[in-house]
Amino acid sequence: MGKRPQQSASGVLESLAREGVNFAVRWLPRGVAEVEKQAQLAAQGLRDYRRRRQEAAARTPRKARLLWLLPLPLIPATVIALASGQFTAFVANGCAYALFVAGALLTRQGFHQEVNQQRQQFQTAIRFPLKTLGGMVIALATAFTAWAGANHDLPIALAFGVGAFAAFVLLYGLEPRRMPGVIDSGHSNLERVTEALQQAEQKILSIEQASSHITQPELNQRLNRINALARDILAEIARDPGDLRRARKFLNTYLDGAQRVVAGYVKAHRNGQSHSLEDSFRRILATIEEVFGQQYQRLLENDLHDLDVQMEVLETQLKREGLD
Amino acid sequence: MAVSQENRTMPKWLRTLIGLSLLFATVGVATWQALLAL
Protein backbone atom coordinates (compact mmCIF):
# COMPACT_ATOMS: atom_id res chain seq x y z
CA MET A 1 0.00 0.00 0.00
CA GLY A 2 2.86 2.37 0.91
CA LYS A 3 4.74 1.65 -2.29
CA ARG A 4 2.09 2.96 -4.67
CA PRO A 5 2.19 6.65 -3.54
CA GLN A 6 6.01 6.48 -3.64
CA GLN A 7 5.91 5.14 -7.20
CA SER A 8 3.37 7.72 -8.31
CA ALA A 9 5.44 10.52 -6.72
CA SER A 10 8.57 9.39 -8.52
CA GLY A 11 6.55 9.09 -11.74
CA VAL A 12 5.31 12.64 -11.33
CA LEU A 13 8.83 13.84 -10.62
CA GLU A 14 10.12 11.95 -13.61
CA SER A 15 7.46 13.37 -15.91
CA LEU A 16 8.09 16.85 -14.48
CA ALA A 17 11.81 16.49 -15.16
CA ARG A 18 11.07 15.24 -18.68
CA GLU A 19 8.76 18.16 -19.32
CA GLY A 20 11.39 20.52 -17.94
CA VAL A 21 14.02 19.09 -20.25
CA ASN A 22 11.64 19.26 -23.21
CA PHE A 23 10.80 22.84 -22.35
CA ALA A 24 14.48 23.79 -22.08
CA VAL A 25 15.31 22.02 -25.34
CA ARG A 26 12.47 23.83 -27.08
CA TRP A 27 12.97 27.33 -25.67
CA LEU A 28 16.65 27.70 -24.76
CA PRO A 29 17.92 27.92 -28.35
CA ARG A 30 15.19 30.46 -29.09
CA GLY A 31 16.22 32.47 -26.04
CA VAL A 32 19.87 32.38 -27.08
CA ALA A 33 18.92 33.33 -30.64
CA GLU A 34 16.83 36.21 -29.31
CA VAL A 35 19.71 37.45 -27.12
CA GLU A 36 22.07 37.18 -30.08
CA LYS A 37 19.61 39.08 -32.26
CA GLN A 38 19.25 41.82 -29.65
CA ALA A 39 23.05 42.08 -29.36
CA GLN A 40 23.34 42.39 -33.14
CA LEU A 41 20.65 45.09 -33.17
CA ALA A 42 22.43 47.01 -30.41
CA ALA A 43 25.73 46.77 -32.30
CA GLN A 44 24.02 47.94 -35.48
CA GLY A 45 22.47 50.89 -33.59
CA LEU A 46 25.90 51.84 -32.25
CA ARG A 47 27.41 51.65 -35.75
CA ASP A 48 24.59 53.85 -37.10
CA TYR A 49 25.16 56.39 -34.33
CA ARG A 50 28.91 56.49 -35.01
CA ARG A 51 28.32 56.84 -38.74
CA ARG A 52 25.94 59.76 -38.19
CA ARG A 53 28.45 61.44 -35.86
CA GLN A 54 31.24 60.99 -38.39
CA GLU A 55 29.05 62.34 -41.18
CA ALA A 56 28.06 65.38 -39.14
CA ALA A 57 31.74 66.04 -38.34
CA ALA A 58 32.73 65.59 -41.99
CA ARG A 59 30.04 68.03 -43.14
CA THR A 60 31.38 70.86 -40.99
CA PRO A 61 35.01 70.15 -40.03
CA ARG A 62 36.26 72.40 -37.25
CA LYS A 63 39.43 73.33 -39.11
CA ALA A 64 37.28 74.75 -41.95
CA ARG A 65 36.31 77.59 -39.60
CA LEU A 66 39.78 79.06 -40.20
CA LEU A 67 38.69 79.97 -43.72
CA TRP A 68 36.09 82.27 -42.15
CA LEU A 69 38.28 83.54 -39.29
CA LEU A 70 41.57 84.36 -41.01
CA PRO A 71 40.17 86.90 -43.54
CA LEU A 72 38.39 88.85 -40.77
CA PRO A 73 41.06 91.65 -40.63
CA LEU A 74 39.89 92.61 -44.12
CA ILE A 75 36.59 93.90 -42.67
CA PRO A 76 38.21 96.66 -40.54
CA ALA A 77 40.65 97.24 -43.42
CA THR A 78 37.73 97.92 -45.76
CA VAL A 79 36.02 100.19 -43.24
CA ILE A 80 39.23 102.13 -42.47
CA ALA A 81 39.99 102.52 -46.21
CA LEU A 82 36.51 103.93 -46.74
CA ALA A 83 36.73 106.23 -43.72
CA SER A 84 40.12 107.57 -44.80
CA GLY A 85 38.94 108.13 -48.38
CA GLN A 86 41.24 105.57 -50.03
CA PHE A 87 38.92 104.31 -52.72
CA THR A 88 41.35 101.86 -54.37
CA ALA A 89 42.21 100.20 -51.04
CA PHE A 90 38.50 100.11 -50.15
CA VAL A 91 37.61 98.28 -53.41
CA ALA A 92 40.65 95.97 -53.17
CA ASN A 93 39.96 94.93 -49.57
CA GLY A 94 36.23 94.58 -50.21
CA CYS A 95 36.81 92.41 -53.29
CA ALA A 96 39.41 90.31 -51.46
CA TYR A 97 37.02 89.66 -48.57
CA ALA A 98 34.23 88.75 -51.01
CA LEU A 99 36.61 86.27 -52.70
CA PHE A 100 37.51 84.70 -49.32
CA VAL A 101 33.82 84.31 -48.46
CA ALA A 102 33.12 82.75 -51.87
CA GLY A 103 36.02 80.32 -51.37
CA ALA A 104 34.82 79.35 -47.88
CA LEU A 105 31.25 78.81 -49.17
CA LEU A 106 32.47 76.65 -52.05
CA THR A 107 34.60 74.62 -49.66
CA ARG A 108 31.62 74.09 -47.35
CA GLN A 109 29.53 72.88 -50.29
CA GLY A 110 32.44 70.65 -51.27
CA PHE A 111 32.44 69.00 -47.83
CA HIS A 112 28.68 68.41 -48.07
CA GLN A 113 29.10 66.93 -51.53
CA GLU A 114 31.88 64.66 -50.30
CA VAL A 115 29.69 63.24 -47.52
CA ASN A 116 26.78 62.71 -49.93
CA GLN A 117 29.13 61.07 -52.42
CA GLN A 118 30.13 58.50 -49.82
CA ARG A 119 26.47 57.52 -49.55
CA GLN A 120 26.07 57.31 -53.33
CA GLN A 121 28.52 54.61 -54.23
CA PHE A 122 27.00 53.61 -57.55
CA GLN A 123 26.06 56.98 -59.01
CA THR A 124 28.33 57.84 -61.92
CA ALA A 125 27.08 61.37 -62.61
CA ILE A 126 30.05 63.76 -62.88
CA ARG A 127 30.09 66.26 -60.07
CA PHE A 128 31.71 69.65 -60.09
CA PRO A 129 34.87 69.59 -57.91
CA LEU A 130 33.60 72.24 -55.51
CA LYS A 131 36.27 71.77 -52.85
CA THR A 132 39.11 72.08 -55.36
CA LEU A 133 37.46 75.17 -56.78
CA GLY A 134 37.10 76.56 -53.24
CA GLY A 135 40.85 76.06 -52.69
CA MET A 136 41.65 77.86 -55.93
CA VAL A 137 39.42 80.80 -55.01
CA ILE A 138 41.07 81.00 -51.57
CA ALA A 139 44.49 80.99 -53.27
CA LEU A 140 43.37 83.71 -55.68
CA ALA A 141 41.96 85.78 -52.80
CA THR A 142 45.26 85.45 -50.87
CA ALA A 143 47.36 86.47 -53.89
CA PHE A 144 45.00 89.39 -54.59
CA THR A 145 45.14 90.55 -50.96
CA ALA A 146 48.95 90.37 -50.95
CA TRP A 147 49.16 92.30 -54.24
CA ALA A 148 46.40 94.90 -53.96
CA GLY A 149 46.00 95.12 -50.18
CA ALA A 150 49.51 94.61 -48.79
CA ASN A 151 51.23 96.17 -51.87
CA HIS A 152 53.59 93.23 -52.53
CA ASP A 153 55.17 92.65 -55.95
CA LEU A 154 53.33 90.31 -58.28
CA PRO A 155 55.78 87.34 -57.91
CA ILE A 156 55.58 87.56 -54.11
CA ALA A 157 51.79 87.83 -54.28
CA LEU A 158 51.71 84.73 -56.49
CA ALA A 159 53.92 82.93 -53.96
CA PHE A 160 51.36 83.82 -51.28
CA GLY A 161 48.64 82.29 -53.47
CA VAL A 162 50.61 79.11 -54.12
CA GLY A 163 51.34 78.78 -50.40
CA ALA A 164 47.66 79.21 -49.55
CA PHE A 165 46.67 76.52 -52.07
CA ALA A 166 49.30 74.14 -50.69
CA ALA A 167 47.98 74.78 -47.17
CA PHE A 168 44.45 74.12 -48.38
CA VAL A 169 45.44 70.81 -49.99
CA LEU A 170 47.30 69.68 -46.87
CA LEU A 171 44.52 70.63 -44.48
CA TYR A 172 41.37 69.78 -46.39
CA GLY A 173 42.51 67.60 -49.31
CA LEU A 174 41.02 67.68 -52.78
CA GLU A 175 38.12 65.69 -54.20
CA PRO A 176 38.62 61.96 -53.62
CA ARG A 177 39.02 59.77 -56.67
CA ARG A 178 35.99 57.71 -57.62
CA MET A 179 36.38 53.97 -58.02
CA PRO A 180 33.99 51.89 -60.11
CA GLY A 181 31.20 50.68 -57.83
CA VAL A 182 30.79 47.31 -59.53
CA ILE A 183 33.68 44.87 -59.71
CA ASP A 184 34.35 43.77 -63.26
CA SER A 185 34.63 40.03 -62.84
CA GLY A 186 34.00 39.15 -66.46
CA HIS A 187 30.25 39.48 -66.07
CA SER A 188 28.67 40.00 -69.47
CA ASN A 189 26.09 42.59 -68.40
CA LEU A 190 28.17 44.94 -66.32
CA GLU A 191 26.27 47.98 -67.54
CA ARG A 192 22.94 46.40 -66.68
CA VAL A 193 24.20 45.54 -63.18
CA THR A 194 25.48 49.10 -62.67
CA GLU A 195 22.18 50.53 -63.87
CA ALA A 196 20.17 48.24 -61.58
CA LEU A 197 22.37 49.17 -58.62
CA GLN A 198 22.05 52.87 -59.37
CA GLN A 199 18.27 52.62 -59.46
CA ALA A 200 18.22 50.59 -56.26
CA GLU A 201 20.50 53.09 -54.55
CA GLN A 202 18.19 55.92 -55.54
CA LYS A 203 15.33 54.06 -53.88
CA ILE A 204 17.39 53.57 -50.70
CA LEU A 205 18.31 57.26 -50.71
CA SER A 206 14.65 58.24 -51.01
CA ILE A 207 13.78 55.87 -48.12
CA GLU A 208 16.56 57.48 -46.06
CA GLN A 209 15.31 60.94 -46.89
CA ALA A 210 11.71 60.04 -46.09
CA SER A 211 12.68 58.34 -42.82
CA SER A 212 14.38 61.52 -41.62
CA HIS A 213 10.85 62.99 -41.31
CA ILE A 214 9.70 60.21 -38.97
CA THR A 215 10.04 61.23 -35.35
CA GLN A 216 9.40 57.93 -33.53
CA PRO A 217 12.85 56.61 -32.50
CA GLU A 218 11.78 52.97 -32.66
CA LEU A 219 10.55 53.25 -36.25
CA ASN A 220 13.60 55.30 -37.15
CA GLN A 221 15.97 52.66 -35.82
CA ARG A 222 14.14 49.98 -37.74
CA LEU A 223 14.32 52.02 -40.93
CA ASN A 224 18.03 52.58 -40.35
CA ARG A 225 18.53 48.83 -40.05
CA ILE A 226 16.50 48.23 -43.21
CA ASN A 227 18.58 50.77 -45.12
CA ALA A 228 21.81 49.27 -43.82
CA LEU A 229 20.67 45.80 -44.90
CA ALA A 230 19.64 47.09 -48.33
CA ARG A 231 23.07 48.72 -48.73
CA ASP A 232 24.76 45.47 -47.66
CA ILE A 233 22.78 43.62 -50.34
CA LEU A 234 23.81 46.15 -53.01
CA ALA A 235 27.45 45.89 -51.93
CA GLU A 236 27.21 42.11 -52.18
CA ILE A 237 25.77 42.35 -55.71
CA ALA A 238 28.49 44.85 -56.68
CA ARG A 239 31.13 42.46 -55.35
CA ASP A 240 29.65 39.54 -57.26
CA PRO A 241 27.47 40.78 -60.16
CA GLY A 242 26.26 37.21 -60.71
CA ASP A 243 24.06 37.77 -57.64
CA LEU A 244 21.88 40.18 -59.61
CA ARG A 245 19.72 37.34 -60.92
CA ARG A 246 19.13 36.00 -57.42
CA ALA A 247 18.29 39.42 -56.02
CA ARG A 248 16.02 40.54 -58.86
CA LYS A 249 12.87 40.26 -56.76
CA PHE A 250 14.49 42.29 -53.99
CA LEU A 251 15.53 45.04 -56.40
CA ASN A 252 12.34 45.18 -58.45
CA THR A 253 9.58 44.42 -55.99
CA TYR A 254 10.54 44.60 -52.32
CA LEU A 255 12.65 47.74 -52.44
CA ASP A 256 10.04 49.49 -54.55
CA GLY A 257 7.29 48.46 -52.15
CA ALA A 258 9.32 49.57 -49.13
CA GLN A 259 9.94 52.96 -50.74
CA ARG A 260 6.23 53.45 -51.52
CA VAL A 261 5.11 52.39 -48.03
CA VAL A 262 7.62 54.65 -46.27
CA ALA A 263 6.78 57.63 -48.51
CA GLY A 264 3.05 57.05 -47.95
CA TYR A 265 3.49 56.81 -44.18
CA VAL A 266 5.56 60.01 -44.09
CA LYS A 267 2.84 61.79 -46.06
CA ALA A 268 0.18 60.57 -43.61
CA HIS A 269 2.48 61.51 -40.70
CA ARG A 270 2.75 65.07 -42.03
CA ASN A 271 -1.02 65.33 -42.27
CA GLY A 272 -1.36 64.05 -38.71
CA GLN A 273 -3.18 60.89 -39.84
CA SER A 274 -0.47 58.36 -39.04
CA HIS A 275 -1.78 57.17 -35.62
CA SER A 276 -4.18 54.63 -37.08
CA LEU A 277 -1.44 53.36 -39.41
CA GLU A 278 1.33 53.10 -36.84
CA ASP A 279 0.75 49.46 -35.89
CA SER A 280 0.46 48.31 -39.48
CA PHE A 281 3.56 50.31 -40.40
CA ARG A 282 5.50 48.79 -37.53
CA ARG A 283 4.46 45.31 -38.63
CA ILE A 284 5.34 45.86 -42.29
CA LEU A 285 8.72 47.28 -41.31
CA ALA A 286 9.43 44.19 -39.21
CA THR A 287 8.50 42.00 -42.19
CA ILE A 288 10.64 44.07 -44.58
CA GLU A 289 13.60 43.82 -42.22
CA GLU A 290 13.19 40.07 -41.94
CA VAL A 291 12.90 39.58 -45.71
CA PHE A 292 15.90 41.83 -46.42
CA GLY A 293 17.91 39.91 -43.82
CA GLN A 294 16.94 36.62 -45.45
CA GLN A 295 17.90 37.97 -48.87
CA TYR A 296 21.31 39.05 -47.59
CA GLN A 297 21.88 35.70 -45.90
CA ARG A 298 20.91 33.92 -49.11
CA LEU A 299 23.48 35.89 -51.10
CA LEU A 300 26.17 35.12 -48.52
CA GLU A 301 25.25 31.44 -48.48
CA ASN A 302 25.36 31.42 -52.24
CA ASP A 303 28.94 32.72 -52.11
CA LEU A 304 29.84 29.89 -49.75
CA HIS A 305 28.17 27.41 -52.06
CA ASP A 306 30.15 28.79 -55.02
CA LEU A 307 33.37 28.51 -53.03
CA ASP A 308 32.48 24.97 -52.04
CA VAL A 309 31.91 24.04 -55.69
CA GLN A 310 35.20 25.68 -56.69
CA MET A 311 37.06 23.74 -54.01
CA GLU A 312 35.49 20.48 -55.13
CA VAL A 313 36.38 21.16 -58.76
CA LEU A 314 39.95 22.04 -57.82
CA GLU A 315 40.26 18.94 -55.65
CA THR A 316 39.00 16.70 -58.44
CA GLN A 317 41.34 18.36 -60.92
CA LEU A 318 44.32 18.02 -58.58
CA LYS A 319 43.57 14.37 -57.95
CA ARG A 320 43.22 13.66 -61.64
CA GLU A 321 46.08 15.70 -63.00
CA GLY A 322 48.37 16.12 -60.00
CA LEU A 323 51.82 14.62 -59.69
CA ASP A 324 51.97 10.97 -58.71
CA MET B 1 33.07 54.78 -54.47
CA ALA B 2 35.11 57.39 -52.66
CA VAL B 3 38.65 56.36 -51.87
CA SER B 4 39.81 56.93 -48.33
CA GLN B 5 42.55 59.48 -48.00
CA GLU B 6 44.09 57.78 -44.99
CA ASN B 7 46.68 55.84 -46.97
CA ARG B 8 48.97 58.79 -47.60
CA THR B 9 52.64 58.66 -46.83
CA MET B 10 52.79 61.79 -44.65
CA PRO B 11 51.38 61.34 -41.14
CA LYS B 12 48.14 63.17 -40.54
CA TRP B 13 49.45 65.24 -37.62
CA LEU B 14 52.42 66.46 -39.71
CA ARG B 15 50.15 67.30 -42.63
CA THR B 16 47.86 69.27 -40.33
CA LEU B 17 50.79 71.07 -38.69
CA ILE B 18 52.36 72.12 -42.00
CA GLY B 19 48.95 73.03 -43.43
CA LEU B 20 48.06 75.21 -40.44
CA SER B 21 51.45 76.93 -40.45
CA LEU B 22 51.20 77.64 -44.19
CA LEU B 23 47.64 78.90 -43.91
CA PHE B 24 48.54 81.32 -41.11
CA ALA B 25 51.72 82.37 -42.93
CA THR B 26 49.85 83.17 -46.15
CA VAL B 27 46.18 84.05 -45.55
CA GLY B 28 46.75 85.33 -42.01
CA VAL B 29 49.82 87.40 -42.87
CA ALA B 30 48.38 88.81 -46.12
CA THR B 31 45.15 89.98 -44.49
CA TRP B 32 46.92 91.57 -41.48
CA GLN B 33 49.41 93.28 -43.80
CA ALA B 34 46.48 94.63 -45.82
CA LEU B 35 45.03 96.08 -42.61
CA LEU B 36 48.34 97.51 -41.37
CA ALA B 37 49.21 98.98 -44.77
CA LEU B 38 46.46 101.59 -44.39
Residues B1-38: tens digit of each pLDDT? 444 444 557 888 999 999 999 999 999 999 999 999 98
As separate numbers, helices (DSSP H) first and strands (DSSP E) second, chain B gives 2, 0
Is A282 in the same domain as A237? yes
Q: Is the pLDDT of residue A139 over 80?
A: yes
> Does A51 reside within a domain?
no
Q: Is A151 left (phi over 0), alpha (psi -120 to 50) or beta?
A: left
Q: What is the pLDDT of residue A166?
A: 96
Q: Who wins on pLDDT, A188 or A97?
A: A97
pLDDT, one tens digit per residue, over A230-255 is 888 888 888 888 778 878 888 878 88
Question: pLDDT tens-digit profile of A147-183?
Answer: 999 999 999 999 999 999 999 999 998 877 666 566 6
A14 belongs to a structural domain: no
The pLDDT score that the predictor gives to residue A23 is 84
Range of the domain at A232: 190-321
Same-domain pairing of A247 and A299: yes
Mean pLDDT over each residue of chain A, to the nearest integer: 84
Residues A123 and A85 in one domain: yes
Residues A125 and A206 in one domain: no
Total of domains in chain A = 2
- The answer to whether position A43 is within a domain reads no
Touching B: A residues 9-48, CB under 8 Å: none
CB nearest to A150's CB, from B16, B24, B37: B37
Residues A133 and A224 in one domain: no
How far apart are alpha carbons A274 and A265 in whole angstroms?
7
Taking every pair of C-alpha atoms in chain A, what is the biggest distance, in angstroms? 125
Segment A23-70, tens digit of pLDDT:
888 787 777 878 887 887 778 778 777 877 887 777 778 888 999 999
Which of B15, B19, B28 faces A70 most closely, judged by CB atoms?
Answer: B28
Q: For residues A195 and A162, state if they share a domain.
A: no
Is the domain of A117 the same as that of A202? no
CA torsion, ordered A292, A293, A298, A304, to nearest 10 deg: 140
**Distance to chain A for B9, nearest Cα, Å:** 12
- Chain B CB within 8 Å of residue A163 CB: yes
Nearest to A146 among B18, B30, B38 (CB): B30
